[in-house]
Structure 1
Amino acid sequence: MGLYDRDYTRIGRRPGIGQRSMVKTLILINVVVFLIDSVLFGSARAAALAPTSWGAFSVEQGVYGLQVWRVVTYQFLHGGFFHLLFNMIGIYFLGRVLEAHFGERKFLAFYLLSGIGGALLLTLLVLLVPDLLKVSPMTPVVGASGALYGLVAGLMTVMPNVRVRPLFLPFEFSIKQLGGFFLVLSVLALLAGGRNPGGEAAHLGGALIGWLLARNPRSLDWANRGVSMIKPKRGGRRRSKFKVMSGGKATAAKPSTSGPPTRDEVDAVLDKIAKSGIGSLSTKERDVLERARKDL
Structure 2
Amino acid sequence: MGFEDRDYAWGSSSRRAFLGGGNRAVKAIIATCAAIFVLQLLTLRAPAVYGEPPLRGLFGLDPSFLAFGQVWRLVTYGFLHDEGGLLHIVFNMLWLWGLGQTVESRLGTREFVLFYLAALLSGGLVFSALELIPAFSPDHVRTATCVGASGAVMGVIMLSALWEPHRPISLIFLTVPLWLIATAYGVIETFAVLSRIGAGRVAADGVAHGAHFGGLLLGWAYYKLHWNFESGVDRLTGRFPRFTFAGLKRSVGAGPKVRLHRPEDEAGEDDDLERRADAVLAKLHTNGESSLTRKERATLKLYSERARAKREGR
User: TM-score if structure 2 supplies the norm length?
Assistant: 0.66
The number of equivalent residue pairs is: 251
Q: Higher mean Cα deviation, 111-120 or 215-224?
A: 215-224
Distance 1:97 1:213 in 2: 16
User: What whole-Å deviation, never above 9, does each CA across 1:141-182 have from its counterpart, x for those lacking one?
Assistant: 00000111111222233x143413133033231x22220111
Distance 1:139 1:45 in 2: 15
Task: State the 1:93 CA deviation.
Answer: 1.1
1:289 equivalent in structure 2: none
Distance 1:108 1:8 in 2: 23
1:37 equivalent in structure 2: 40
User: What letter is aligned with 1:37?
Assistant: Q
Distance 2:284 2:45 in 1: 42
User: What letter is aligned with 1:150?
Assistant: G
Aligned identity (percent) is 23
Residue number among 150, 170, 185 corresponding to 1:166 in the alignment:
170
Indicate the structure with greater helix content.
2
Contact 1:11 1:101 in 2 (8 A): no
Residue number among 51, 54, 61 corresponding to 1:50 in the alignment:
54
Contact 1:105 1:223 in 2 (8 A): no
Aligned positions of 1:29-108 closer than 5 A: 29-44=32-47, 50-61=54-65, 63-79=66-82, 80-108=85-113
SS of the residue 1:130 aligns to: coil
SS of the residue 2:208 aligns to: helix
1:148 equivalent in structure 2: 153
Aligned positions of 1:190-269 closer than 5 A: 190=193, 191=195, 194-196=203-205, 199-214=208-223, 215-223=225-233, 236-237=267-268, 267-269=275-277
User: What letter is aligned with 1:64?
Assistant: A
Distance 1:180 1:12 in 2: 31
Contact 2:134 2:140 in 1 (8 A): no
Task: State the 1:216 CA deviation.
Answer: 2.5
Distance 2:18 2:97 in 1: 10
Residue number among 9, 33, 49 corresponding to 2:15 in the alignment:
9
> Cα–Cα, structure 1 residues 43 and 219, in superposed 2: closer, same or farther, change >3 Å?
closer
User: What whole-Å deviation, never above 9, does each CA across 1:83-108 have from its counterpart, x for those lacking one?
Assistant: 00000001111111111111101100
Contact 2:7 2:14 in 1 (8 A): no
User: TM-score if structure 1 supplies the norm length?
Assistant: 0.69
Task: State the 1:280 CA deviation.
Answer: 5.4
> Cα–Cα, structure 1 residues 221 and 143, in superposed 2: closer, same or farther, change >3 Å?
same
SS of the residue 1:172 aligns to: strand
SS of the residue 1:171 aligns to: strand
Give the unaligned 5+ runs of structure 2: 197-201, 239-264, 301-314
1:272 equivalent in structure 2: 280
User: What whole-Å deviation, never above 9, does each CA across 1:224-254 have from its counterpart, x for those lacking one?
Assistant: 6789xxxxxx995466xxxxxxxxxxxxxxx
> Cα–Cα, structure 1 residues 178 and 134, in superposed 2: closer, same or farther, change >3 Å?
farther
SS of the residue 2:171 aligns to: coil
User: What letter is aligned with 1:115?
Assistant: L
